[in-house]
């Protein structure tokens, strides 16, 4: 087999005779989603967010707020407000995906340009791969607890790894098992994995409620945390609540940015609106409340609050637990495995798959991209990143600065500059008369705005990682999502006002001016007879919520 034939074997399916430029700009997963794959209905989005909110990070999210001096109810209010803010931002950025059924990389082309968008997709893909490994490592701790509930001797597995590895045999094997059982879940296409989130939305909350009741019964009450008052007052209290609210917003910056990925599968645009606006704050607030009560009860049982639910389950296995206790720990830890798996797919593997598809469309589709993320997550040795968890968390939180600037440009492009007008066909060719060619495929206005949104937070970021900076810079950085988003949005609108682009500043109407209809592809029609009757792809220019 020659080199050319070998390369052709590696390519994803595409029409014969395409030029290199055409192969670089599109494949089946970059084109508008075919009608038969638009299977996400309103209840699917609701189940998705109920499922996504149930994970270890959400369970613990109020812990840092309470340890910083807030009372439990002040922290819980911050969670409601923070995730309540997230919903409208996410829906606003998801809208072009829901209307035109295109994913984040294609939507990014409309504002940053055909080639300029590659930097945004590369950034998002890199972070998704890193986070995949980190979340898989956390999932490994769930596997360890589940195995220990079956065989208590798991805790005593001898270590055969050198100290330089940064881990031990027991923890690595549990991590690898979680990584391995995740692989089959990466195979289904995006419109089918909604069933995984439906299952998670049933089992994970059920386990959480059981854990909640079990803890209260074992402690004979809800514990002292709900009775202790806040330790802050006046401006200190106000700023600490702002920081807490912004931590919730920053925690969701990645999902705000790539919101079009799942919205592109919406059955109709309205399905991606209210279920997300309501479901996000409701789901995250309820899970945070469970975390508060369980940790408060653990103070009575163990003399100190245990915020990590996996650590608390591990404590329940200490000594000589009864059979009922071991079964309860097994069921709850198994549900946490499912929860962690669903979160990793929603926030990381799908995002990496969509982004890598845009970077290497000739060779990678969403499915292959998900497996690339899994491979990177394995070889990057995520346990080494978590050795200094404070620094790692600071740097990852700071990454929301970059994402908020991207979101500011994208949302302004759709709602203010283009006002719903798209030319979907121009997203897939390099014609100089295309709307998204800009200057050699790069929109300098978007990059000027993007950099401006980052610069306003640079000094405060230096303070977050240990440098001495003025208090004003720190306050600006504490509002980093809003400052980054606001500055990038303002600069982008001003530049487009003085240097307008074709198709901008029209009356608002969500319409595809290209009347683009992607080619039909027989090989993707693998659904039921009813699905086979559906058009392989179409953009309904009149479809609005």
Decide: residue 182, CB within 10 A, 0-12 exposed, 13-18 middle, 19+ buried.
buried
Structure confidence by residue, pLDDT tens digits, 375-400: 999 999 888 877 765 555 566 666 77
Cα–Cα distances in angstroms (integers) from residue 542 to residues 33, 100, 320, 427, 533, in the given order: 16, 10, 65, 20, 21
Give, as one character, the DSSP assignment of residue 178: H
Integer Cα distance of 101 and 31 in angstroms: 9
Structure confidence by residue, pLDDT tens digits, 212-259: 999 999 888 888 888 888 888 899 999 999 999 998 998 888 899 989
Instruction: Answer yes or no: is 67 within a domain.
Output: yes
Decide: residue 387, CB within 10 A, 0-12 exposed, 13-18 middle, 19+ buried.
exposed
Percent of all residues in the chain with a pLDDT value above 70, rounded to a whole number? 90
Residue whose structure tokens are 């419109």 = 191
Instruction: Answer yes or no: is 507 within a domain.
Output: no
State residue 520's pLDDT score: 43
Structure confidence by residue, pLDDT tens digits, 167-213: 999 999 999 999 999 999 999 888 788 888 888 888 989 999 999 99
Integer Cα distance of 27 and 368 in angstroms: 13
Structure confidence by residue, pLDDT tens digits, 402-452: 889 999 999 999 999 999 999 999 999 888 889 999 999 999 999 999 999
**Residue 524: band (very low, low, confident or very high) from pLDDT cuts 50, 70, 90:** very low
Instruction: Answer yes or no: is 234 within a domain.
Output: yes
State residue 336's pLDDT score: 92
The residue with greater pLDDT, 480 or 534, is 480
Instruction: Answer yes or no: is 452 within a domain.
Output: no
Percent of all residues in the chain with a pLDDT value above 90, rounded to a whole number? 55
Integer Cα distance of 35 and 37 in angstroms: 5
Instruction: Answer yes or no: is 458 within a domain.
Output: no
Instruction: Answer yes or no: is 295 within a domain.
Output: yes
Instruction: Answer yes or no: is 392 within a domain.
Output: no
Q: Is the pLDDT of residue 538 over 50?
A: no
Integer Cα distance of 40 and 271 in angstroms: 8
**Residue 17: band (very low, low, confident or very high) from pLDDT cuts 50, 70, 90:** low
495-516 burial, b at 16+ Cβ within 10 Å, e below that, comes to: bbeeeebebbeeeeebbbbbeb
Beta bridge partners of 244: none
Torsion of CA 505, 511, 515, 516, to 10 degrees: 100
Integer Cα distance of 272 and 469 in angstroms: 42
Instruction: Answer yes or no: is 497 within a domain.
Output: no
| Model-wide pTM > 0.85 | yes
Integer Cα distance of 442 and 448 in angstroms: 11
CATH of the domain at 58: 1.10.4160.10
Query: Two tokens at 188?
Result: 């289904």
Arithmetic mean of pLDDT, 291-304? 88
SS percent in the chain: helix, strand, coil, step 5: 70, 0, 30
Total count of domains within the chain: 1
Instruction: Print the domain residue range for 144.
Output: 28-384
Integer Cα distance of 502 and 491 in angstroms: 18
Rg (CA), the chain: 24
Integer Cα distance of 132 and 122 in angstroms: 15
């Amino acid at each position: 087999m020659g080199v050319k034939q070998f390369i052709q074997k590696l390519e994803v399916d595409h029409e014969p005779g395409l030029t290199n430029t055409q192969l670089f700009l599109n494949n089946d997963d970059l084109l508008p989603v075919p009608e038969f794959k638009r299977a996400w209905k309103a209840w699917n989005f609701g189940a998705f967010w109920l499922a996504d909110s149930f994970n270890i990070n959400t369970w613990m999210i109020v812990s840092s707020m309470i340890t910083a001096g807030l009372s439990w109810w002040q922290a819980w209010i911050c969670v409601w407000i923070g995730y309540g803010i997230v919903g409208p931002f996410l829906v606003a950025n998801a809208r072009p995906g829901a209307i035109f059924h295109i994913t984040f990389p294609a939507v990014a082309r409309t504002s940053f340009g055909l080639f300029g968008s590659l930097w945004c997709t590369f950034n998002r893909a890199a972070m998704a791969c890193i986070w995949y490994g980190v979340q898989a490592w956390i999932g490994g701790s769930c596997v360890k607890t589940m195995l220990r509930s079956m065989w208590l001797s798991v805790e005593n597995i001898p270590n055969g790894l050198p100290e330089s590895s940064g881990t031990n045999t027991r923890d690595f094997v549990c991590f690898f098992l979680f990584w391995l059982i995740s692989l089959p879940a990466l195979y289904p296409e995006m419109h089918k994995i909604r069933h995984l989130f439906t299952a998670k939305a049933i089992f994970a909350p059920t386990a959480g409620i059981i854990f909640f009741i079990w803890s209260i019964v074992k402690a004979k009450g809800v514990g002292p945390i709900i009775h202790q008052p806040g330790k802050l007052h006046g401006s200190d209290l106000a700023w600490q609540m702002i920081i807490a609210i912004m931590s919730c917003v920053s925690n969701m910056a990645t999902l705000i940015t790539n919101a079009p990925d799942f919205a592109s599968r919406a059955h109709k645009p309205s399905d991606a609106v209210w279920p997300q606006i309501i479901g996000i704050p409701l789901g995250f607030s309820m899970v945070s409340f469970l975390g508060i009560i369980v940790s408060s009860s653990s103070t009575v049982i163990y003399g100190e609050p245990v915020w990590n639910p996996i650590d608390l389950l591990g404590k329940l296995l200490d000594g000589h637990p009864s059979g009922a206790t071991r079964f309860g720990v097994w069921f709850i830890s198994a549900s946490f495995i499912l929860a962690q798996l669903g979160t990793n797919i929603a926030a990381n593997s799908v995002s990496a798959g969509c982004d890598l598809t845009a970077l290497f469309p000739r060779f990678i589709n969403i499915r292959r991209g998900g497996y690339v993320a899994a491979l990177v997550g394995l070889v990057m040795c995520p346990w080494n990143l978590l050795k200094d968890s404070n620094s790692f968390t600071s740097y990852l939180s700071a990454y929301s600065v970059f994402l908020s600037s991207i979101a500011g440009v994208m949302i302004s492009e759709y709602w203010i500059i283009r006002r719903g007008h798209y030319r979907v066909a121009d997203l897939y060719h390099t014609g100089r008369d295309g709307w998204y060619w800009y200057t050699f495929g790069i929109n300098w206005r978007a990059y000027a705005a993007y950099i401006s949104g980052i610069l306003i937070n640079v000094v405060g970021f230096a303070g977050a990682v240990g440098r001495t900076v003025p208090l004003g810079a720190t306050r600006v950085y504490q509002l980093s999502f809003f400052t980054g988003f606001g500055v990038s949005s303002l600069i982008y609108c001003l530049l487009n006002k003085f240097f307008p682009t074709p198709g901008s500043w029209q009356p608002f109407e969500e319409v595809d001016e290209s009347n683009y209809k992607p080619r039909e592809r027989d090989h993707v029609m693998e659904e039921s007879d009813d699905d086979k009757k559906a058009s392989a792809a179409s953009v309904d220019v009149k479809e609005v919520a």
